[in-house]
Amino acid sequence: MEKTHIISCCCCLLCFFLILKPTLVYSLSPDGKAILSLLASADASSISFSSILSSWNLSNPTPCSWQGVTCSPQDRVISLSIPNTFLNLSSLPPQLSKLSSLQLLNLSTTNISGPIPPSFGLLTHLRLLDLSSNSLTGPIPPELGTLTLLQFLFLNSNRLSGGIPRQLANLSSLQILCLQDNILNGSIPWQLGLLNSLQEFRIGGNPYLTGEIPSQLGLLTNLTTFGAAATGLSGVIPPTFGNLISLQTMALYDTEIFGPIPPELGLCSELGNLYLHMNKLTGSIPPQLGKLQKLTSLLLWGNSITGPIPAELSNCSSLVVLDTSANDISGEIPTDFGKLAVLEQLHLSDNSMTGPIPWQLSNCTSLTALQLDKNQLSGPIPWQVGNLKILQSLFLWGNSISGTIPSSFGNCTELYALDLSRNKLTGSIPEEIFGLKKLSKLLLLGNSLSGELPQSISRCQSLVRLRLGENQLSGQIPKEIGQLQNLVFLDLYTNQFSGGLPSEIGNIMVLELLDVHNNYLTGEIPSQLGELVNLEQLDLSRNSFTGEIPWSFGNFSYLNKLILNHNLLTGSIPKSIRNLQKLTLLDMSFNNLSGSIPSEIGYVTSLTISFDLSSNRFTGEIPEEMSGLTQLQSLDLSNNMLYGGIQVLGDLTSLTSLNISFNNFSGPIPVTPFFRTLSSNSYLQNPKLCESLDGSTCSSRILRRIGLESAKTVTVISVTLALVTLAILATWVLVIRNRKYMAKKSSGSASSSGCENVSAIEANATAGVSLPPTISRSTEGQINRVVERSSQVSQKLRINFSVGRNIFL
C-alpha cells in the first residue's frame, strides 16, 4: 500500500512539472527538451524508482547538472549516459537526434524496444553509440554510415534483423563494431575490409548470417578480436587472415566453415585464443601453428580433422588448453608435449590415436584435466602419473590399456574424477586410491580387475559414483561401504562377490542406484534397504538370495526399476508394492514366489515397460484391478499355476508383448486387435482357453474349424473342377479320334456291321463313362475313378462351403 502511494505521488509530481508548470519546461534549453523526450515516453513507475531520472530538476535552465548528462563549456550536451536505467520505452524518441553536439550516447540495458531511428544519422559528432542489451527490432539504419567520427558502435544483444549495411564501411574512425546476438541475415559486406582502424569485429550469435568470410577482412591489420561464432557462415577460412598480425582472439566456432585450417594462421604472432571447434574442418593440423608463442587456448574439437598431432605444437610454450577431441586424429601422442610446462587441460578423446601414454606427460605439472578416452591407446598407465599433484580429472576409458592400476595415483591428492573403464586392466584396486579425500567419481567398469574390496574404502568419503561392474572382483562386499554417505551410484554387477548383501548399505540415504546383479550373493535381502528412500533403480537379479521380498520395499517412492529375477526368493509379493507409484519395470521372474498376484499391483499405473512374474509358483486368478495397467507394454505370467479367465487382459490396450503359457487359464480369449495378432505360443499349455467371436463366449470348435477352412475350401473346389473339366475333355478327344479311326477302318465292311460299331461308339460316348473297345481297360478304369472322385469331392466341399459361409454371414 505504501509502495503504491509513493508511485502515485511521483507520478503526480511528474505531471505537475510537465503539465501544470509548462513555463519550467519552456525555460529549458533545446538540448534539455530533447532529453526530456525520454521522460515523455518512459513508464511513470520507471521514473519513480530510478535514482537518475528522479534527480533531474526540470527547473534548471539547462540539463548540464542532471545525473548522466555532460555538457560542453557552451552548455551543449555532449554526453548522455544512463545505462542500466529501466526506461521501458516502446521506441527511441527521434527528438534525441536534435542533440547536434552529442558525442556519447549510452542507453544500454534500459529496456528499449522498437527500431533505431534513421535520424540518428544526424548526430555527426557522435563518437560512441551504445544501444546494446535492449529489445530493439528492425534493420540497422544505413544512415548510421554518415557518422564518420564514430569510434565505438554497440548494437549487440537486441533483436535487430536485416543485413549488415555496407554503408558502415564509411565509418573510417570505427574501432569497435559489436553486432553479435541479433537475428541479422545476409552476408558480411566485403567493404568492411576497408575499416583500417577496426580493432574488434563481433558478429557472432546471428544464426541467419550466411555466406563466405570475405578475404578483404584480411586487410584489417589492427584487428585484435574477430568473433563470428554461432552463425551460418560457410566456405573456408581465408588464407588472408595470416595478415592479421594484431589478432589476439579468433572465435569462429559452431558454423558451417569447412576445408583445412590455413597454415597462414601461424603468422598471427599475437594470437592467444583460437576457437575453431564445432565446424566442418578437414585436413590435418598445420605444423605452422607451433610458431604461435602467445597461444594459450587451441580448441579444435568437433570437426573432421585427420592425420597426427604435429609435435611442433609443443613449441607453443604459453599453451594452457589444448582440445582436439571428437575428430579422426591418428598417430601417437607426441612425447614433446611434456615440454608444455603451463598446460592445464589436454583433451584428445574420441579420436583414433594409438600407441602408449607418454610418461613425459608427467612433466606437465600444471595439468588439472587429462582426457584421452575413446581412442586406441595401449600399454600400461605410466607410474609417473603420480607426479601430477594437482590433477583433478583423468579419463582413459574406452582404450586398450593393460597392466595394473598404479598405486602412485594416491599422490594425486586433488583428483576428483578417475575413469579407467572399458580397458584391459588387471590386478587389484590399489588401497591408495581410497585415500583420495576429494575423489567423487571412481569408474573401473569392464576390465579384468580381481581381488577384494578393502575395508579402507570407507576413507573415500567424497565418493558419489562407485562403478566397478564387469570385473572379476571377489570376496564379500565390505560393510564399511555403508559409511559412504555421499554415494549416489553403486555398481558392483557381474563380478564374483559372495556372502550376504551388507545391511549397512541401507545407511546411504542419498543412494539412487544399487546394482549387484550377476554375482554369487546369498542370504536374505536386508530389510534395511527400505531406508533408501531416494532409490530409483534396484537390481539384485541373478544371485542366490533367499527368503521373502521385504515389506519395506514399499518405501521406494522414487523407484522406477525393480529387478529381482533368477534368485531363490519365496513367499508372496508384499502388498506394499502399491506404494511404488513411479515404477516402470518390475521383474520377479525365475524365483519360488507363491500365493496370488496381489490386487494392489493394479494400482501401480506407472508400470509401462515390463511386468514379469514368469517361472514362479503363483496361483489364483488375475486380479480385476490389473485392468488399470493401461500403459503396460510387456506382460509375462508364463510357467505358473494361475487359473481363471483372462478377459481382464483385454483392457491392457498398450500391450505389445504377452506370454501366459503353461498355466491353467480357461474361458474365451479377448478379441481385441492386439490379441488377434498373437500366435499360439503366447497361450501354450492352457487347454481350457478357447477362441471366441464375441470375447465372452466360446465358439464351436467344429464350426470354427469349418469357418477357418472356408477360404481353403473355395480354392480346393476350383482346383477340383478344373481337373474334372480336363478329364472330360481328354475323354472326348479320345472318343473323337477313335470314331474317325473306326470309320476309316470299316469303310469296306458290311453296312450292318459298320452301323452296329458306330452305334456302340455313340452309346459309349453318351454314357461318358465307358470307352471304345480300342482303348485299354486300365485307362478306362483310371479315367472313371478320376471322374467319380472329383464328383464326390465337389459334392462334399459344396456342403462344407455352404456351412462355413453361413457362419461368417
3-state secondary structure of 381: coil
Lookup result for grid cell 567424497: 462
Backbone φ, ψ for residue 378 (5° rounding)? -135, 180
Asked if residue 283 lies in contact with residue 306, where contact means CB atoms within 8 angstroms, the answer is yes
Cell of 746: 470299316
Task: List strand residue ranges (DSSP E) for 550-663, in order.
Answer: 561-563, 585-587, 594-595, 610-612, 617-620, 634-636, 641-644, 657-659
Q: Give bridge partners of residue 256 from the DSSP assignment.
A: 234
Give the span between the Cα atoms of 418 and 394, in whole angstroms.
5
Number of residues in the chain: 809
Closest by CA to 308, choosing from 326, 290, 334, is 334
Per-residue pLDDT, 760: 36
Query: What amino acid occupies position 219?
Result: L
Asked if residue 642 lies in contact with residue 619, where contact means CB atoms within 8 angstroms, the answer is yes
Give the span between the Cα atoms of 473 and 448, in whole angstroms.
8
3-state secondary structure of 49: helix
Closest by CA to 228, choosing from 239, 243, 212, 244, is 212
Question: Which tens digit of pLDDT belongs to each residue from 28-76?
Answer: 899 999 998 887 766 666 565 567 877 888 888 999 999 999 999 999 9
Per-residue pLDDT, 500: 97
Residue 759 exposure: Cα atoms within 13 Å on the Cβ side: 6
Closest by CA to 370, choosing from 399, 398, 352, 390, is 390
Cell of 539: 537390481
Per-residue pLDDT, 40: 75
Per-residue pLDDT, 376: 98
In this prediction the pTM is 0.81
Give the span between the Cα atoms of 405 and 449, in whole angstroms.
9
Per-residue pLDDT, 279: 98
Per-residue pLDDT, 728: 77
Low-confidence ranges of the chain (pLDDT < 50): 1-24, 701-714, 747-780, 782-783, 786-787, 789-791, 793-809
Asked if residue 307 lies in contact with residue 283, where contact means CB atoms within 8 angstroms, the answer is yes
Give the span between the Cα atoms of 111 and 85, in whole angstroms.
8
Closest by CA to 665, choosing from 648, 678, 677, is 648
The edge-to-edge listing of strands for the beta sheet with 496-499 is 450-452, 472-476, 496-499, 520-524, 544-546
Rounded to 5°, the CA angle 195-170-31 comes to 120
Burial 580-592 (b: 16+ CB within 10 A, else e): beebbbbbbbbbe
Would you tell me the crossing angle of helices 701-708 and 777-808 to the nearest 10 degrees?
110
Query: What amino acid occupies position 180?
Result: Q
